[in-house]
Structures are given as structure tokens and as C-alpha cells.
Amino acid sequence: MILFALPVALVIIFGYALNNDYKNIPIGVLNQSKDQTSEKLINRIIGSGYFVVEKSLEKPQDIPSAFKLGKIKLVLYFPAHFQKELYHSKKAQIQLIADASDINTAINTTSYLSGIINEFNAENAREINGGIQISTRMIFNQRLLSVYLFIPGVIALILLIISALLTSVTLAREKEMGTLELLSISPISPYMIIIGKVIPYLILSLLNSFVIILLGIFIFGLPMTGSISLLILACFVYTVASLSLGILISTRVETQQAAMFASLVTLMMPTMLLSGFIFPIESLPLPLQVISNIIPATHFIVLIKSIMIKGAGITVIWQPFIILIGMTSLFLFVSIQSLKRNN
């Protein structure tokens, strides 16, 4: 039972908690100009809903202590004579001072703010002499929801860890208690042992994956634009790959504890960080991109996003399928070899 409750609880918590939809970011304002234009711009910034002015600063020397308390993320600094400068020389600087010890927030806040300021400039320009009208189409994710980014990753991570843990620990337990030896002197071939061990977990994990994906669709509003049978096939292929990874681990270790450490320590963090779930794959350095490609979750995330969100057909995504099947065969082949060697 815990094997169903656990993934469901995790997906629900992460589905709500993990997002980068910034709103009400606390910022500080240091306005040494106090003129119409700066007030107008500040109002525009507050009006955007992304920012709240948490603190008004008096002088630049106050900035470090404000940051050290960690309450505000950014200081918007209008130097003295801002407006005069603006109308005199047609350009004036303002400073966006971001607390970059939290880089993501720093980049996102400065990017939002620059966007607002550009928009403000463009409006002023249009009043004078017209501008280019830009229309933007956000493809696949019109409302820019972060669940589209995080839910597929969470699904892939949880399925992999649970499936791999289950099988590796179960087989290692048999080894520890000596029951595997009993099986291996019976006339059953190693293939049959593995298949027999894995099938119950396969069914369990598949059910698990369906439950999680249904949650994604009905609670978090993931779309389901592609073919359902293709999605089921993807889940099946991925689950088998994770289970066979578990088998592989179990053939390499002696005890349950070693199996647990091997599965958790070697799978969890790399899967999280290298599969494209947290960091975009295209910004990884080349050697890590190679590693990223040998992580099953990477390909499953591509599959889920392509099938569910983009509605891609098999002609677009045959590649990840082939890779996952190839990995599974490799894991199983190596496991059977080492089982045979043990006998």
C-alpha cells in the first residue's frame, strides 16, 4: 500500500510546491530622484504583480545590510537627477542591484524588470513616433505554466527510483537469506528466475505510473494531446528499463543495505540533475551531456513531454523508444551473465 501512497503523495506535494511562477517578489527601492517619471515607473512595476516594495532605502550604504538580512531580493536604484538626465540627453540609467547569491531569482527578477522597463520605453516611444507591434505566440504552453516543466520530471524520477529500489532490494534480500541459492540449484534457468521475480513488480510499477499520470492530468492540468496507447507503451518501456536496472544493481551487491545505497546514492541525484528535470540538458558541459544520455529518465521525460504536451507521433519520437529498449536489453544481458557466472 505504501508503494502507492508514497508516489501519489510526492507527486501532489511537488506538483503544487515546485514552481517558478514568480509573484510578489520583495524588492527595495532607493529613489534619490523622487520625480514624476520614476514614480510612474515604480507604479508600473508594482502594478505588474511580480513585485512588492518591501523596503524604501535612503542611501546606497543601506543596501548591504538590507541584503544581509535576506529579506529583499533586489534593489531598484534611481540616481539623483534621473528625470532631468532622461529629458536632457534622452537617456538615463537606473540600476537593478540583484542579490545573486540566489541566482535563479536574481536572473528572473532582473529579466522581468528589464522587460517592464523596455515596455515602458516602447510606450513612450510609440507616443512620439510609432513602434513595431510584436505579437508573441507561446507554443505548447500558452499560459507559461511551470507544471509542464516539473511534473514530467517528477514522474520520471519517482518511477525510476521506486522500481529500481524494489527489485534490487528484493533480489539482494533473497541473496542475503540464501534463498536465491535454493532457486539457482533448481532446474529453473536464470532467465526464468529474473522474469518470475520481475513480473509482479512490473504490474505494480505500471499501475503506479498510470495513477501518477492521471494525477498529472486531472489535478495539475497537464494536457493529453497525443495518443494514449503510445503513452502506455512509453510507460511500459520505461518501467521495464527501471526494473532491469534494479536487477543489474542486485547482481552486483551482496546485502540489502548495499543495494539500497547503490540505488539511492547512485540514481537519485544524477537522475534529478542530469535528466533535464532541473537543469536544461543543452547547457550541460559535453561530458555530462553524454552521461545524461545514458540515464533512462532523460529519454522518458522527452517521451512524456512529446506525447502528452506536444502530441507527437511515433515518427518524431521513435529514437527515445529505441534507446530505452536498447538500455533494457543491455542491463538484462549483463545481469544474466553475472547470474550465470555465480552459478
Partner 1 sequence: MRNIFILVRKEFLQIFRNRQLLPFMTVLPVIQVILLTFAANYEIKNLRLGIWDLDQSTSAQQLIHKFTGAKFFQEKALISNQKKADELLMKDEVDLVLVIPKDFEKALHSSNNPAIQFQINALNNAKAGIVQNYASAITQDFLNEKRGNSTLLASPKIIPITNYWYNPTLNYKTIMLPGIVAEVMTLIIILICALNVVREREIGTIEQLNVTPLKKHEFILGKLIPFWVIGHFIFWAGMTLGKIFFNIPMVGSLGLLELFLAIFLFVPLGIGLFISTAVETQQQALFTSFFFIILFILMCGLFTPVETMPDWAQYINQLNPLKYFVEVNRLILLKGSGLKEIYPFIAKMIIYGIGINLLAIWRFKKTN
Residues 123-182 that bind partner 1 (CB under 8 A): 124-142, 144-146, 148-150, 157-158, 161, 165, 169, 173
Beta bridge partners of 28: 55, 75
Phi then psi for 126, rounded to 5 degrees? -65, -35
Q: How far is the CB of 78 from partner 1 (least distance, A)?
A: 10
- Return the C-alpha cell found at 65: 545590510
By CB under 8 A, the residues from 69 to 88 that bind partner 1 are 69-70, 86-87
- Return the C-alpha cell found at 116: 517592464
Beta bridge partners of 78: 31
Report how many residues bind partner 1 under the rule CB under 8 A: 120
H or E, element range at 231 = helix 228-252
Query: Which of residues 185 and 315 has its CB atom nearest to partner 1 in the complex?
Result: 315
Angle of CA points 88, 94, 96, to nearest 5°: 170
By CB under 8 A, the residues from 308 to 327 that bind partner 1 are 309-310, 312, 316
Among 262, 304, 323, 336, binds partner 1 (CB under 8 A): 262
Phi then psi for 74, rounded to 5 degrees? -160, 145
Q: Is 1 in the site for partner 1 (CB under 8 A)?
A: no
Query: Which of residues 47 and 131 has its CB atom nearest to partner 1 in the complex?
Result: 131
Q: How far is the CB of 187 from partner 1 (least distance, A)?
A: 30
Stretch that binds partner 1, among 180-188, 202-210, 211-219, 260-268 (CB under 8 A): 260-268
**Cα gap 127→156, rounded to integer Å:** 51
For the sheet with 51-57, list strands across it.
Answer: 51-57, 25-31, 74-78
- Closest by CA to 260, choosing from 269, 251, 250, is 250
Among 8, 46, 48, 105, binds partner 1 (CB under 8 A): 105
By CB under 8 A, the residues from 204 to 223 that bind partner 1 are none
Q: 51-72 burial, b for 16+ CB within 10 Å, e for fewer? A: beeeeebeeeeebeebbeeeeb
Query: Which of residues 152 and 190 has its CB atom nearest to partner 1 in the complex?
Result: 152
By CB under 8 A, the residues from 225 to 254 that bind partner 1 are 253-254
Query: Which of residues 233 and 268 has its CB atom nearest to partner 1 in the complex?
Result: 268
By CB under 8 A, the residues from 31 to 70 that bind partner 1 are 37, 41, 63, 67-70
- Give the sign of the dihedral formed by CA 164, CA 210, CA 241, CA 280: negative
Stretch that binds partner 1, among 54-62, 103-111, 216-224, 332-340 (CB under 8 A): 103-111
| Burial class of 205 by CB neighbour count within 10 A (0 to 12, 13 to 18, 19+) | buried
Answer yes or no: are the C-beta atoms of 30 and 63 closer than 8 Å: yes
Q: How far is the CB of 241 from partner 1 (least distance, A)?
A: 20
Q: Is 118 in the site for partner 1 (CB under 8 A)?
A: yes
By CB under 8 A, the residues from 266 to 305 that bind partner 1 are 266, 268-270, 272-274, 278-280, 282-285, 287-288, 305
